[in-house]
């Protein structure tokens, strides 16, 4: 009888000794005792820090150590499987690998989404004790947010023109849903790893992508040609402007030189009149006659043809009249 009692006491002591546990330096522990979370005197959830602790053994208490700095990853969907039997009418699909979404213009696309998250320090109890499968709930929330966004977007926006904007909106929507449903996690980032069409219509999607690439090529080529022509036109415009400016400057300089020479001549005539050499009117008449002869000489050199008249009547061939007459 004493042996049985001693054995019972030893077993009871060993059972209660299982209540000792160690919290690591990078972890904190949440405790649930008699089905209720332990709280501090201020009403906040109790989080045990690193060190040796004791709590009632299972099933009276439950201890959940957690590293709040650890970033967890959740993958939704899988990469494209080239080996699918396209002739089979029904194909087995794993629920965790299901990644088909319907776009707003009734097209089906496969998406692979990665979620980076960590357990919030203030939401440890919600994460561990608020639901039985928090990762599955997070998966469903992400799928719900993705389905809502993709159903309001066209296939061209999702594949692949608006991936950056779609990723930002998906991250924001997931964070809002996680906060709304008190999941106890903080979403760091939601990344759309890949977007690809179903295998049966992959060739058609490739044709569309090739056509879009050709369109961009043609547009870029046309823009390049337009820029080249615009540059050439600006260069030609600048050349004409430079030539015009040069001709204007030359004309102005020639006119100034002629005006200066004429003014000097007039000044000389006045000086001769003052000196009693010759009167101003006589000197002016001689100067005009000289200019007349210079102009006539220059004009006659440019006359290359002859005029023949057979009317028998006299003809006045005077081109310029001598100012002295």
Say yes or no: 104 and 192 in one domain.
Answer: yes
Tokens of 264: 């000097």
Range of the domain at 15: 2-66
Q: How many separate domains does the chain show?
A: 3
For residue 105, tell me if it sits in a domain: yes
For the ranges 12-21, 48-57, 64-73, 200-209, the maximum mean pLDDT occurs at: 64-73
Q: Domain boundary at 196, 214, 235, which?
A: 196
Same domain for 114 and 190, yes or no, is yes
Instruction: Give me the pLDDT at residue 234, please.
Output: 93
The arithmetic mean of pLDDT across residues 200-205, rounded, is 72
The pLDDT of residue 155 is above 70:
yes
> For residue 322, what pLDDT is reported?
53
The pLDDT value given to residue 86: 47
Q: Per-residue confidence at 82, pLDDT binned at 50, 70, 90?
A: very low
Tens digit of pLDDT for each residue in 124-140? 777 777 777 888 888 98
pLDDT digits (tens, 9 = 90+) for 292-318: 888 777 777 766 555 555 666 766 655
Distances (CA, A) of 21 to 17, 31, 32, 258, 296: 9, 12, 14, 112, 125
User: What three-state secondary structure class fits 161?
Assistant: helix
Asked if residue 175 belongs to a domain, the reply is yes
| Per-residue confidence (pLDDT) for residue 295, from 0 to 100 | 78
The contacts of residue 17 (CB under 8 Å, 6+ apart) are none
Q: Which two tokens stand for residue 43?
A: 């009403």
Same domain, 104 and 38: no
Q: Using 50, 70 and 90 to split pLDDT, how confident is the model at 230?
A: very high
End-to-end CA distance of the chain: 169
The whole-number pLDDT of residue 68 equals 77
The per-residue pLDDT for 311 is: 64
276 or 236, greater pLDDT: 236
Is the residue at 265 inside a domain?
Answer: no
Q: Where residue 90 falls among pLDDT bands split at 50, 70, 90? A: very low
Q: Domain for residue 164, yes or no?
A: yes
Considering the domain architecture, whether residues 62 and 101 belong to the same structural domain is answered as no
Prediction pTM value? 0.55
Can you say how many angstroms the Cα of residue 322 is from the centroid of all Cα atoms in its chain? Answer: 81
Assign residue 125 the CATH number of its domain.
3.30.479.30
Same domain, 62 and 100: no
- Residue at 162 is within a domain: yes
pLDDT digits (tens, 9 = 90+) for 250-286: 999 999 998 888 888 888 878 877 877 778 787 778 8
pLDDT in tens, 21-48: 777 777 777 777 776 667 766 666 677 7
Distance CA 300, CA 249 (A): 29
User: Could you say which DSSP state residue 50 is in?
Assistant: S
In a domain, 31, yes or no: yes
Residue 321 has pLDDT above 60, yes or no: no
Q: What is the DSSP string of 278-314?
A: S-HHHHHHHHHHHHHHHHHHHHHHT--------S-S-
**8 A C-beta contact, residue 167 and residue 195:** no
Pairing mode of beta strands 36-37, 61-66: unpaired
The answer to whether residue 257 is domain-embedded is no
pLDDT of residue 249: 93
Among 175, 196, 217, give the residue marking a domain's end.
196
When mean pLDDT is compared across 41-45, 69-73, 148-152, 224-228, the lowest value belongs to 41-45
Number of neighbouring beta carbons within 10 Å of residue 71 = 12
Query: Is residue 51 a part of any domain in this protein?
Result: yes
Which of 45, 66, 87 finishes a domain? 66
The span from the CA of 222 to the CA of 160, in Å, is 24
Do residues 189 and 106 both lie within one domain?
Answer: yes
pLDDT at 228: 93
């Amino acid at each position: 009888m004493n042996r049985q009692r001693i054995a019972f006491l030893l077993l009871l002591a060993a059972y209660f000794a299982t209540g000792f546990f160690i919290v690591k330096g990078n972890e904190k522990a949440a405790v649930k005792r008699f089905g209720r979370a332990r709280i501090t005197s201020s009403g906040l959830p109790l989080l045990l820090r690193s060190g040796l602790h004791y709590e009632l053994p299972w099933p009276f208490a439950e201890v959940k150590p957690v590293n709040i700095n650890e970033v967890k990853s959740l993958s939704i969907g899988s990469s494209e499987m080239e080996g699918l039997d396209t002739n089979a009418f029904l194909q087995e699909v794993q629920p965790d690998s299901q990644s088909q979404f319907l776009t707003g213009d009734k097209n089906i696309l496969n998406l692979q989404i990665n979620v980076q998250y960590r357990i919030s320090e203030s939401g440890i109890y919600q994460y561990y004790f608020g639901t039985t499968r928090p990762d599955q709930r997070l998966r469903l929330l992400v799928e719900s947010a993705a389905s809502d966004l993709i159903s309001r977007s066209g296939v061209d926006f999702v594949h692949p023109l608006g991936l950056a904007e779609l990723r930002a909106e998906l991250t924001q929507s997931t964070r809002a849903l996680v906060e709304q449903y008190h999941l106890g996690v903080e979403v760091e980032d939601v990344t759309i790893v890949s977007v690809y069409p179903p295998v049966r219509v992959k060739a058609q999607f490739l044709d569309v992508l090739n056509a879009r690439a050709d369109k961009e090529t043609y547009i870029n080529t046309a823009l390049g040609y337009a820029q080249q022509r615009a540059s050439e036109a600006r260069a030609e415009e600048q050349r004409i402007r430079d030539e015009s400016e040069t001709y204007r400057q030359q004309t102005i300089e020639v006119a100034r030189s002629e005006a200066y020479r004429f003014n000097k001549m007039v000044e000389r005539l006045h000086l001769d009149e003052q000196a009693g050499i010759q009167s101003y009117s006589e000197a002016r008449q001689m100067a005009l006659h000289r200019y007349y002869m210079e102009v006539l000489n220059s004009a006659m050199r440019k006359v290359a043809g002859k005029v023949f008249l057979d009317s028998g009547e006299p003809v006045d061939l005077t081109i310029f009249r001598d100012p002295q007459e």
